[in-house]
């Protein structure tokens, strides 16, 4: 039984973080990009043919992934393939996942030995055993398996796709783009289908001007009684990075030991592009508490409850609190940062002060000098 | 197969045991001994080669090669896995004429691999060892060698007279040409110590290796045989002065010192440096490190994948280590994968890979500024049981 993977790299917008990159390429957790989690999930399940569907802004993603060797996908046959959009009469504007799948049909068709397809978005992060999900799908004999996380629905967050189960564990309700109240399950944007079924549906739906995976294929077909659904409930940590606020909160959530261990090692290792840096140096007068710190930093100041990516310099007398600081930032002497996200290559001048709030952190775009 | 002609290739002698590193090299060849949090000793000569534009490196292995071979792999971390580059591991092998077997000495190791070298038809061969921590541009040395029209050039550095008798000492004329070589002289005439880095014209070295092999009394060693023989035969040999950081890490004390010399705001050895002299290493996919709210990290290196809940001062913590709550680590080198449980105290120690210091155990001790520091060492995978003591200078 062979399985292929599809990753949707442009998964909505996450404020200024996606101005110049795809959601898949958003840096996360000190040394990763979000796509590392999805690629590593697939690699660990032995999936060796993965298509990355990316519509725009994919330069940094391509640079990051390269030949895919970090994930063992630099193969002569199969391996990783970037599926960038074709300009077709039907693709003037983007309509939905089914449409992008349609333009990637040749990739889907190629590799006749693949029987199943695992599809995932790129803004929801987890460390999941996809073999178990595929096994559950096959055992169920259903048309589609939808992976969900229980307990997140609380009416406070709009869910792309929410499910409600009855006492027998069968689906009682499906809702799309819904502020679901308690009792609904939030899906994780991971689906398993047989390749044959997916190919058929994509052809059929595009021919009828139906483009949406969630709305048309899942909800529409289920309502008509034409879709049998297997629900796979995942119990590990799941981080929904669908807005700046969530991204910020989830970045700092890594400081929690359980979340961190769940995400980085419960099932398998998370691989990423190697950027070989020296170990981080902690200076004579630094005070570092409750932090996630990548290699290559020089820390002389105070850093608390923050995530520091590679090669960040925090000068003496600087104070960094509740921040996410991406690669190569320099925080000058006496600068004060609170509730801020610094994109790559930012320079904070000595004495500068930046203060956001937990719900609206300040974002400093890439390369800025403040 | 097609082999591109190379102007210069390197042969890296990595077969030695490094017995003075004691328990640290019981199961590992010296070049594979961890250094500086995420490196291994061999990363230094290998990275130097790549940074000097040498893209073909033969690595002679013999003692406990498993880990070293694994580490070198296809040479990818150093960019030596391209179409016309290689990091080729060369273990001893059997030959039809029985002129083979274990490498008898440094020169014999190269002799047995003449075929490998010939494939690249090199003008120059650089001979290196996997014993030292340093950054050096070998290309500049080859340039110097070529400009002087020498047959052999030896890198030298100035050492204190009191230490000179530990080294091979080169006595030179004012133009830096060598007129005498003394291996570990009792009364050294100069302080020009050989760094064990040689550039040879391949044609000269090839002949020297073949005639050395024919001499049954030879110990087949570069320092003892090849260099003196070439000098006696009247070859032009030059000394190449190098005054950058260079440290032989062949003993427990020097390995500890070299690690400590990475620390500080202006470290004796700045491993960070610029991109052109970057030291590369094979990386494991560890997540970023975590520093707990009760942790204290002062003047130390902490590599990725480590979780620190305790106190770390003036130490090097390698990848994938855990320092438990209330534990204290001072003036120590903690190698990859070490676990130090809560309440343990570690001072002036080298903790070998994956070793473990259990709850409330004490390793090593403190020393006054003028006292000789006695370093405690744990071997790979060793366990210091809870509430026990490993005394200063003791090994486990």
B63-74 per-position pLDDT tens digit: 888 889 999 999
Judged by a CB distance cut-off of 8 A, whether residue A178 touches chain B is no
ipTM above 0.90, yes or no: yes
pLDDT at A181 over 70: yes
**Chain B hits for A284, Cβ within 8 Å:** 265, 298-299
Give the distance from residue A264's alpha carbon to the nearest chain B alpha carbon, in angstroms: 7
Judged by a CB distance cut-off of 8 A, whether residue A31 touches chain B is yes
- Assign residue A277 a region (left: φ > 0; alpha: ψ between -120 and 50; beta: otherwise): beta
Q: What is the pLDDT of residue A89?
A: 46
- Assign residue B18 a region (left: φ > 0; alpha: ψ between -120 and 50; beta: otherwise): left
pLDDT at B6 over 90: yes
Does the beta-carbon distance from B289 to A293 stay under 8 Å?
yes
Q: What is the pLDDT of residue A94?
A: 63
Q: What is the mean pLDDT of residues B197-212?
A: 96
Q: What is the pLDDT of residue B252?
A: 94
Does the beta-carbon distance from A286 to B298 stay under 8 Å?
yes
Q: What is the mean pLDDT of residues A205-233?
A: 93
Say how far apart CA B146 and CA B140 lie, in whole Å: 10
Nearest CA in chain B to A263: B287
**Chain B hits for A270, Cβ within 8 Å:** 285, 287
**Chain A hits for B312, Cβ within 8 Å:** 282
Q: What is the pLDDT of residues B335-357, one digit of tens each?
A: 999 999 999 999 999 999 999 99
Q: Which residues contact B315 (CB under 8 A, 6 or more apart)?
A: B300, B301, B329, B330, B331, B332, B333, B334
- The whole-chain average pLDDT of chain A stands at 91
Under the banding of pLDDT at 50, 70 and 90, the label for residue B263 is very high
pLDDT at B266 over 80: yes
pTM for the structure as a whole: 0.93
Residue at token pair 């013999």: B62
């Amino acid at each position: 039984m062979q399985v292929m993977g599809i990753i949707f790299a442009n998964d909505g917008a996450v404020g200024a973080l996606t101005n110049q990159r795809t959601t898949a390429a958003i840096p996360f957790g000190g040394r990763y990009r979000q796509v590392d989690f999805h690629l590593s999930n697939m690699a660990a399940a032995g999936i060796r043919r993965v298509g990355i569907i990316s519509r725009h802004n994919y330069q940094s993603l391509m640079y990051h992934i390269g030949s895919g060797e970090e994930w063992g996908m630099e193969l002569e046959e199969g391996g990783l393939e970037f599926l960038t959009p074709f300009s077709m009469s039907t693709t003037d504007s983007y309509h939905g996942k089914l449409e992008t799948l349609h333009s990637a049909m040749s990739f889907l068709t190629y590799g006749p030995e693949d029987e199943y397809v695992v599809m995932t978005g790129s803004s929801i992060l987890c460390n999941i055993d996809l073999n178990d999900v595929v096994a559950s799908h096959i055992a169920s004999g259903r048309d589609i398996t939808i992976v969900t996380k229980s307990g997140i629905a609380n009416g406070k967050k709009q869910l792309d796709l929410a499910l409600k189960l009855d006492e027998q564990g069968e689906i009682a309700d499906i809702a799309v783009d819904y502020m679901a109240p308690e009792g609904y399950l939030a899906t994780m944007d991971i689906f398993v289908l047989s390749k044959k079924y997916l190919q058929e549906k994509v052809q059929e739906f595009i021919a009828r001007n139906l483009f949406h995976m969630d709305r048309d294929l899942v909800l529409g077909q289920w309502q008509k009684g034409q879709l049998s659904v297997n629900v796979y409930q995942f119990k590990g940590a799941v981080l929904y990075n669908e807005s700046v606020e969530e991204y910020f909160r989830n970045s700092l959530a890594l400081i929690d030991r359980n979340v961190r261990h769940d995400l980085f090692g419960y099932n398998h290792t998370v691989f990423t592009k190697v950027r070989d840096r020296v170990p981080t140096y902690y200076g004579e007068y630094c005070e570092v508490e409750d932090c996630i710190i990548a290699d290559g930093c020089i820390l002389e100041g105070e850093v608390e409850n923050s995530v520091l990516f590679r090669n960040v310099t925090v000068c003496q007398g600087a104070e960094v609190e509740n921040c996410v600081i991406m690669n190569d930032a320099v925080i000058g002497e006496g600068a004060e940062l609170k509730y801020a996200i610094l994109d790559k290559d930012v320079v904070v001048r000595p004495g500068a002060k930046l203060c956001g709030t937990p719900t609206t952190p300040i974002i400093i775009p890439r390369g800025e000098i403040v | 197969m097609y082999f591109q002609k190379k102007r210069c290739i390197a042969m890296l002698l990595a077969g030695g045991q490094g017995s003075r590193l004691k328990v640290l090299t019981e199961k590992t060849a010296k070049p594979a001994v961890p250094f500086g949090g995420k490196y291994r000793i061999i990363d230094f000569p290998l990275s130097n080669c790549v940074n000097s534009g040498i893209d073909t490196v033969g690595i002679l292995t013999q003692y406990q090669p498993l880990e070293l071979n694994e580490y070198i792999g296809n040479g990818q971390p150093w960019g030596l896995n391209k179409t016309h580059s290689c990091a080729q591991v060369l273990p001893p092998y059997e030959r039809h004429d029985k002129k083979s077997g274990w490498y008898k000495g440094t020169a014999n190791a190269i002799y047995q691999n003449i075929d490998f070298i010939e494939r690249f038809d090199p003008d120059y061969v650089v001979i290196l060892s996997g014993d030292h921590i340093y950054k050096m541009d070998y290309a500049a040395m080859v340039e110097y060698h070529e400009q002087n029209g020498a047959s052999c050039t030896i890198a030298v550095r100035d050492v204190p007279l009191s230490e000179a008798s530990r080294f091979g000492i080169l006595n030179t004329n004012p133009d830096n040409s060598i007129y005498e070589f003394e291996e570990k002289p009792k009364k050294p005439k100069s302080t020009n110590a050989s760094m064990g880095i040689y550039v040879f014209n391949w044609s000269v070295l090839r002949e020297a290796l073949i005639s050395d092999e024919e001499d049954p009394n030879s110990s087949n060693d570069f320092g003892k045989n090849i260099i003196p023989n070439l000098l006696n035969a009247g070859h032009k040999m030059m000394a190449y002065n190098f005054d950058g950081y260079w440290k032989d890490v062949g003993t427990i004390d020097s390995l500890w010192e070299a690690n400590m010399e990475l620390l500080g705001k202006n470290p004796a050895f700045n491993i960070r440096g610029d991109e052109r002299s970057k030291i590369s290493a094979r990386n494991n996919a560890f997540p970023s490190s975590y520093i707990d709210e009760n942790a204290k990290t002062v003047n130390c290196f902490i590599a990725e994948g480590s979780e620190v809940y305790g106190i770390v001062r003036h130490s090097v913590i390698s990848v994938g280590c855990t320092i438990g709550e209330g534990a204290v680590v001072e003036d120590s080198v903690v190698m990859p994968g070490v676990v130090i449980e809560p309440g343990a105290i570690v001072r002036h120690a080298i903790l070998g890979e994956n070793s473990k210091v259990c709850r409330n155990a004490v390793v090593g001790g403190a020393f006054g500024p003028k006292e000789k520091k006695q370093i405690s060492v744990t071997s790979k995978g060793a366990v210091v049981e809870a509430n026990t003591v490993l005394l200063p200078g003791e090994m486990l």
